[in-house]
Amino acid sequence: MSIRMMGLFCVLLGGLLVAPVKAGDSSVIGLEALPELADMAQSGLLLLDHQGRVIKVKDAQKAFVPASTTKLVTAFLALSHWGEQHRFKTDFFVRKLGDGHQHDSKTMLYVKGYGDPFLISEELTEAVRQIKHRLFSEGIKSIDGIVLDTGYFANSLVLPGTGHSDNPYDAIPSAIAANFNTLFLRKDNGRVLSAEEQTPLTPLARTLGQHKVKDELRFNTGDDPKTGQRYFAELLATLLRQQGVQVGQTIDWGEVDSQWPRLYRHYNQHTLADIVRPMMRYSTNFIANQLALMLSVEFYGEPATERKVALMYAEQLAKHFNWNGALIEEGAGLSRQNRLTPQQLVEVLEVFRPWKHLLPEVEEKVFAKSGSLIGVSALAGYIEHRQDWLPFVLMINQQVPYYHYRNKVALTLSKSLAGNDGD
C-alpha cells in the first residue's frame, strides 16, 4: 500500500490523526536506507508526516519494553495534571514538646514532605533563610531537633525495576529527600569532603564517604529510606546552623497534626517545566518516580504505594488514550514488565506537542527522549522539518550494532525527509 493510500485510511482518535497500522501487521515501509533495522525481529518504528500520515513504519502495533521513553508518558500525565508552572511544596512547623515546664520542654522543627523531587542544596538554602526569619520573628533562636513526617509515601516503598547499586540512577523515592537522594563526595589525603561548594558535609555523609569514596564519587543513599531522610535532616540542620540558628542533634520521625499552625510553606523555585527538562536530558529516574508517586496521591490519596502507581497509569492512560494492552508499572522505565507500542508512543507525542521544548536535541533537528536497558534501545520524539515537528518512535528489544545506533536511525530519518524536499 502506498503512503498516499495509507493516508486515506487515517482515523481520528481524540482529535488526533494517527497511523492506520493494524494489530499484528509486520509490514515494512520506507526502510530501504535502514537495512539492519528492517532485519531486526524485535524492533518497531513509526514516523508520521505533519498530517498524521505514515512515512515509515515497522511493527508499529507490536508491544516492546520502552525503557526510559516511559518518561514521556510520566511527563505528559504530570504536565497535563498540574500545568507547566506548578511548583511543589514542603511544609515546616515549630512545636514545643514536654510536660509544660520550661526546663523540660523541647522546641522541635517538624518537616512535612510531599515528594518534591527537586530539593537540591540551593533550594534548601533558600528555605532555610525563610525559616530562620520566621523563627527569629517569634523569638526562637534555637531548636532541639528535627522531626520528619514522611507519611505522604508508604514506608518501605519499592517500585518495580528498582536496582540495588550505589549508582545515582538507583536512588529510591521518598516523601522527603535532598539532592535526589544522592551524595557527591571526594577524598583529600584520606579526609572526606563535599564535592559541591553549595552542599556542606554532614556526619552521615562523612561516614558513608569513608566506606565508599576513593577519589570522587556521586552515589545514592542506599535502600533504607530512613538513611536518605536522615541525610535530609542533617543537611537542613547544618544549613540552619550556618544561618545562625542553634540546632540540637535530635532527629526523629513523627506525624504533623493538620490543625497545627504552619511556620512556613516552601514552594520550590523551580517549576514543573524546570524539573521535567533535566529529567528528560539526564533521564533522572528519581524525578520520574517521584512524579508518578505524587500523581498517585492526587488521584487516590496518601500514602503513595506501588499499587496506586500502577492503577494510576492504567486508569489515566485509558482515560486519555483508550489503549488496550499498554502496561506501565512505574514512572521511570526501569521495569521490564512495562509494555508500549510505537503507535501508542506516537499518540503520546501528539498530545505532548505543547511541551516539546522540554526535550533535548539529541542530534541536529532531532528532539527526543532515549531509553536504554540491557538488550533495549529506544528513541522517541520529533524531527524538525520545514517548520513542522514530525513525531517518530524507534523501539528495539534486542542487541544493537553499537550504542548510538538509535541516533543513526534518527539522523537517517531526518536526512531522508530532507532528501524528499524536491519531490
Query: Dihedral of CA 411/277/125/228: which sign?
Result: negative
Q: Which of 248, 270, 292 is the last residue of a domain?
A: 270
Number of domains into which the chain is organized: 2
Assigned C-alpha cell, 221: 543513599
Sheet of 216-220: strand order equals 191-194, 182-188, 216-220
pLDDT at res. 39: 94
pLDDT at 102: 53
214 and 94 part of one domain: yes
295 and 411 together in one domain: yes
Identify any residues that bridge with 144 across adjacent strands, giving them in sequence order.
none
The 8-class DSSP code of residue 333 comes to S
CA angle, corner 338, sides to 337 and 340, nearest 5?
Answer: 135
Among the listed residues 135, 88, 86, the one whose alpha carbon sits nearest the alpha carbon of residue 109: 135
For residue 90, what is its C-alpha cell?
514542603
Q: What is the pLDDT of residue 103?
A: 55
pLDDT of residue 12: 29
Per-residue pLDDT of the chain in tens (423 residues, 90 and over written 9) = 333 333 333 332 333 334 444 433 446 788 888 999 999 999 999 999 999 999 999 999 999 999 999 999 999 999 999 999 999 999 999 998 875 555 568 999 999 999 999 999 999 999 999 999 999 999 999 999 999 999 999 998 999 998 889 999 999 999 999 999 999 999 999 999 999 999 999 999 999 999 999 999 999 999 999 999 999 999 999 999 999 999 999 999 999 999 999 999 999 999 999 999 999 999 999 999 999 999 999 999 999 999 999 999 999 999 999 987 799 999 999 999 999 999 999 999 999 999 999 999 999 999 999 999 999 999 999 999 999 999 999 999 999 999 899 999 999 999 999 877 654
The predicted structure's pLDDT at residue 4: 33
Kindly state whether residues 134 and 262 are assigned to the same domain. Answer: yes
SS (H, E, C) 232-264: HHHHHHHHHHHCCCEEEEEEEECCCCCCCCCCE
How is residue 313 written as a grid cell? 497509569
Cell readout for 258 is: 493538620
Given a contact cutoff of 8 angstroms between Cβ atoms, the answer to whether 46 and 343 are in contact is yes
Q: Are residues 156 and 230 in the same domain?
A: yes
**How many other C-beta atoms are found inside a 10 Å radius of the C-beta of residue 99?**
7
Same domain, 284 and 194: no
Domain shared by 294 and 236, yes or no? no
> Does pTM top 0.85 for this prediction?
yes
Hey, what amino acid is at 76?
F
Where residue 336 sits, what CATH number does that domain have?
3.40.710.10
Nearest residue to 218 via CA among 272, 181, 255: 181
The pLDDT of residue 7 is: 36
- Grid cell at residue 182: 544522592
Chain length of the chain: 423
User: What is the rounded distance in angstroms from the CA atom of residue 160 to the CA atom of residue 377?
Assistant: 19
Residue 135 sits in the same domain as residue 50: no
- 289 vs 286: CA distance, rounded Å: 5
DSSP letters for 92-113: EEEEEESSS-TTT-EEEEEEEE
Residues 337 and 241 in one domain: no
Q: Which residue in 168, 172, 178, 148 sits closest to 160, CA to CA?
A: 172
Which of 217, 249, 270 terminates a domain? The answer is 270
Considering the domain architecture, whether residues 17 and 65 belong to the same structural domain is answered as: yes
* 322 plus 266 within the same structural domain: no
Distance CA 88, CA 85 (A): 10
Cα distance between residue 22 and residue 37, in whole Å:
20
Rounded-to-integer distance, Cα 314 and Cα 306, Å = 13
**DSSP calls for 159-193:** -TT---SSSGGGPPP-SS-SGGGEEEEEEETTEEE
Structural domain including 324 reads: 3-82+278-419
Could you give the 3-state DSSP secondary structure of residue 13? strand
- The whole-number pLDDT of residue 27 equals 63
